[in-house]
Homo-oligomer: A and B are copies of this chain.
């Protein structure tokens, strides 16, 4: 196993494209997206049952090394500052399995 950083970003779904572009630009090897999550934060309630994508949140999960994580945090911070959302970073053991 290899120590990596686990980044978890919750943001408005309208920002998903910008965030995934930042994930790619930071050099992350991949990502996972959970769509249609409901949230309540500093900017009010975000409901998965609302009619348009504009009111939905999504959760983006990224496993990457520390250098990529640092770049990604800096890229994501202004998006979160402008549109709301959260980013949590934890240490994780990544199960190696590539040939």
A40 to chain B, nearest CB (A): 5
- A73 partner, pick from B1, B36, B37, B76, beta carbons under 8 A: B1
How many chain A residues touch B (Cβ–Cβ < 8 Å)?
Answer: 45
Q: Assess the A87–B94 pair: CB atoms within 8 A.
A: yes
A98 to B4, CA, bound (A): 26
A36 to B36, CA, bound (A): 11
* Residues on A facing B (Cβ under 8 Å): 1, 4, 6, 8, 10, 20, 29-42, 48, 57, 59, 61, 63, 73, 76-78, 80-81, 86-99
18 A–B pairs (Cβ distance < 8 Å), ordered by A = A4-B88, A6-B88, A6-B90, A20-B40, A29-B42, A32-B39, A32-B86, A33-B37, A33-B38, A35-B36, A63-B86, A73-B95, A80-B95, A81-B97, A86-B94, A88-B92, A89-B95, A90-B92
